[in-house]
Amino acid sequence: MSVVSMQKMLIAGMREEQDAVLKELQRRRLFHLSKMEEETLSAPEVKEKLTRAEKQAQLADNALKLLNEYAPADEGMFASLKGGRELSADAWQEKALSLPQAAALAESLLEKQKGIGEAAAKAARAQVLLEGLVPWEGLDMPLNTSETGRCRVLIGALPGAWTEESLKDALAAGLPGFDTYELELLKGDATQTPLVLLCLKEDAPAVEDLLRKKGFAKPILVSDKTPAEAKEDLQFEKAAAVTEGEELKAAIRAAAPGRDALQFLYDESQLEAGRLAALAKTGEGSRSFFLSGYVPANRAEALKKQLEDKYTVSVSLIDAAPEEAVPVALHNNRFAAPTESVVESYGLPGEGEVDPTGIMAIFYYFLFGLMLSDAGYGLLMIVGCGLVLKKFPKMSRSTKQMMTMFFWCGVSTFLWGILFGGFFGDAIDVIAHTFFGVPKDVQVFKPLWFAPLEKPMKLLVYSFLFGVLHLFVGLGLKGWQLLKQKRVMDFIGSVLSWFLLLIGLILMLLPSDLFASISGSPIPIPEPVQSAAKILALIGAVGLLLFAAWDRKNFGLRLALGAYELYGITGWLSDVLSYSRLLALGLATGVIASVINSMASMFGGGVKGAILFIIIFLVGHALNMAINLLGAYVHTNRLQYVEFFGKFYDGGGEAYEPLTTDTTKYYHMEET
């Protein structure tokens, strides 16, 4: 476990080579760019170029989404694991020659998308108008007919269901003496009654006013054609719009071979935007540029030589000042490296802190396996993650770390399953008893250590033991950090005193009746050792009182703060009790697995019983594994973040992020 040593690198060069140098640094993926202390002199057009690059990336992304919508890539369910293609600098430059054509394709696709939307709107409008024509299909005159020589023609609909008699009664009641008119009701329904009313022009205003008060409304389509003619036109308009939309969709599908070019356009635009955004952190003169950043110390000299050999630049390497916030990168072996993401999620080591990954990895795999503790589930994890790692070697770093971490978690789960006698619960015994006639009092698959379902209190005691060991290691790491920083008094007050107090209390607890009630039997401790334990506990308590706040000059305040630190013993008790979740999750996995096996064997032997057994077995164990795998992952993380890290680790370091930009399919070949 270690934090990568960093060296500060200053680069000065000619302004005309600025973009080329930034591209080179992107390809090398080593240079962590930091903002210059001096005010940046970046040219005004940089922001405009950055905006253009971001818009072009967005254009390519939208075109890819459109293409994937109408012509999905046939990549299979594991496509995301395949990783991208690495290109050398020359291959990248050659492929970049096709960027203008890719941009034109993207714009063309988005224009087609716009056309599809417009065609869909036309078809929808025609459909609405067609539905609005339904009540007027029996009308044999144009819908915009409003008058004849001496008469007015009122065409519209009243809300609700009307009969000719009820409407005439309403007209007679509202307009006494009005009887010179012709009325025709068309086919309506319970919601509306379409009608045509012909009356003298001088009566029209009063009639129209009366009808309007009753909710009279004109047709949504007013046309100089009859409803039958208008319907035919609208049907043709709708069909034409649908055809237009389908032709545009077909044209988009035909552009599927350009997906690769669009992907490269997106990645190159992202890289260009990254370079332009980096200019805000550089310094510029009228003819020069300046870069400041950090590089891993073991790669710094090689990068310096490569830059100076290839470009007209001056590169200086200097040691970072103690007060500088140097970016943090972790370096661990293949066993521990997969859990770096766990540490990064909490926070990278801050100033003076050690990288906890190596030690944490041991406990992480150990505790995860103890919580899941089934050899069958562990074997599935080993095989599954192993096959994925072998078949997809170019997957992203984060995915590879996750798969490798679960591989080692699977190994731990398998070993704990062997120790506890769990292989898909008690599946081996159930199958032997149900299908092979083995007597039920014969245990086929025996635990190498003990069965938690038979001795849960024994597992609880060991869970607390593992928890104490985990917490003591965390406290020990805190002591190591304090001694490295030569803070001896802090070590005595915050670490050594706690060790003495806790070890003394544990030795006093082991022979007690309380411990006997939990474990089933006390652990005999010789009387001299018990006396020594009391002395240790007393020395530890006094040490906390006197030295936990040793730097306080006010003795009363010093004792008060020491007493408060001593009160932290309740926190230690709470932390140790948290490890009871090792028992809870371990039992949950085994109990549920056994219930599933019992349900699957209810139908007895024979072909029918075997078929039903397999179905219930596969479905039940798949659900059990998924649920308990998630539980083990969540609670293992919690034990690291809350209990373990809480004893010594704050985090807060700045992440080492070398100058590059995440791309999705194409990557610069790493150059050494």
Q: Which pLDDT does position 524 carry in this prediction?
A: 85
Q: Which pLDDT does position 31 carry in this prediction?
A: 92
| Residue position matching structure tokens 């065409």 | 155
Confidence of residue 75 (pLDDT cuts 50, 70, 90): low
Residue 111 burial (10 A CB sphere; 0-12, 13-18, 19+): exposed
Q: Which pLDDT does position 41 carry in this prediction?
A: 45
- How long, in residues, is the chain? 672
SS3 call for 314 = strand
Q: Please say whether the beta carbons of 213 and 158 come within 8 A.
A: no
Whether 42 shows a pLDDT value over 70: the answer reads: no
- Residue type, position 85, single letter: R
Q: Which pLDDT does position 274 carry in this prediction?
A: 83
- Which of 37-51, 346-360, 613-627 reaches the highest mean pLDDT? 613-627
Q: Please say whether the beta carbons of 346 and 655 come within 8 A.
A: no
Alpha helices for 334-396 (secondary structure H): 340-346, 357-372, 375-391
If we measure between CA atoms, which residue out of 119, 124, 125, 122 comes closest to residue 245? Answer: 119
Question: Looking at residue 328, what DSSP letter applies?
Answer: B
> Angle of helix 555-566 relative to helix 527-547, nearest 10 degrees?
130
Pairing of strands 2-3, 288-296: unpaired
SS3 call for 64 = helix
Confidence of residue 447 (pLDDT cuts 50, 70, 90): very high
Q: What does the pLDDT average to over 408-435?
A: 96
pLDDT in tens, 325-345: 899 999 999 999 999 999 999
Distances (CA, A) of 4 to 305, 353, 400, 455, 642: 21, 13, 21, 46, 26
SS (H, E, C) 234-267: HHHHHHHHHHHHHHHHHHHHHCHHHHHHHHHHHH
Q: Please say whether the beta carbons of 552 and 565 come within 8 A.
A: no
**655: phi then psi, degrees, rounded to nearest 5:** -70, 140
User: Percent of the chain scored above 90 by pLDDT?
Assistant: 56
| More confident site: 542 or 352 | 542
Residue 475 burial (10 A CB sphere; 0-12, 13-18, 19+): buried
Whether 361 shows a pLDDT value over 50: the answer reads: yes
Whether 4 shows a pLDDT value over 80: the answer reads: yes
Whether 76 shows a pLDDT value over 70: the answer reads: no
Six-digit token string for 45: 């057009």
If we measure between CA atoms, which residue out of 335, 360, 349, 354 comes closest to residue 639? Answer: 360
Whether 440 shows a pLDDT value over 90: the answer reads: no
Q: What does the pLDDT average to over 201-217?
A: 91
pLDDT in tens, 260-299: 899 888 988 888 888 888 777 776 666 788 888 999 999 9
Residue 393 burial (10 A CB sphere; 0-12, 13-18, 19+): exposed
Q: How far apart are CA 19 and CA 9, in angstroms?
A: 18
Distances (CA, A) of 85 to 20, 391, 657: 22, 15, 21
Q: What does the pLDDT average to over 336-363?
A: 93
Q: What does the pLDDT average to over 31-39?
A: 73
Whether 607 shows a pLDDT value over 60: the answer reads: yes
Q: What does the pLDDT average to over 44-56?
A: 82
Six-digit token string for 480: 């190591």
Confidence of residue 635 (pLDDT cuts 50, 70, 90): very high
CB atoms within 10 A of CB 22: 24
CB atoms within 10 A of CB 235: 13
Distances (CA, A) of 453 to 420, 590, 594: 9, 7, 10
Handedness of CA 252, 258, 264, 269 (dihedral sign): negative
E strand intervals along 528-573? none
Radius of gyration of the chain (CA): 40
**88: phi then psi, degrees, rounded to nearest 5:** -70, 170
Q: What is the pTM of this model?
A: 0.82
Q: Please say whether the beta carbons of 471 and 575 come within 8 A.
A: yes
Q: Which pLDDT does position 387 carry in this prediction?
A: 95
Whether 140 shows a pLDDT value over 90: the answer reads: no
Confidence of residue 77 (pLDDT cuts 50, 70, 90): low
Distances (CA, A) of 194 to 222, 346, 487, 568, 573: 14, 71, 95, 84, 82
Whether 359 shows a pLDDT value over 50: the answer reads: yes
Q: Which pLDDT does position 27 carry in this prediction?
A: 87
Q: Which pLDDT does position 286 carry in this prediction?
A: 64
Q: How far apart are CA 537 and CA 311, in angstroms?
A: 67
144-218 — its CATH code? 3.30.70.2750
| Residues 6+ positions from 50 with CB-CB distance below 8 Å | 273, 276, 277
pLDDT in tens, 560-594: 998 999 999 999 999 999 999 999 999 999 999 99
In the chain the first and final C-alpha atoms are separated, in Å, by 24
Six-digit token string for 574: 């709470």
Confidence of residue 55 (pLDDT cuts 50, 70, 90): very high
If we measure between CA atoms, which residue out of 242, 159, 147, 154 comes closest to residue 193? Answer: 159
Q: Which pLDDT does position 513 carry in this prediction?
A: 82
Q: Please say whether the beta carbons of 189 and 224 come within 8 A.
A: no
Whether 39 shows a pLDDT value over 50: the answer reads: no
Q: How far apart are CA 469 and CA 475, in angstroms?
A: 10
**245: phi then psi, degrees, rounded to nearest 5:** -65, -40
> Angle of helix 259-278 relative to helix 99-133, nearest 10 degrees?
110
CB atoms within 10 A of CB 645: 20
pLDDT in tens, 448-457: 999 999 999 9
**9: phi then psi, degrees, rounded to nearest 5:** -125, 130
> Angle of helix 45-70 relative to helix 99-133, nearest 10 degrees?
60
The whole-chain average pLDDT of the chain stands at: 89
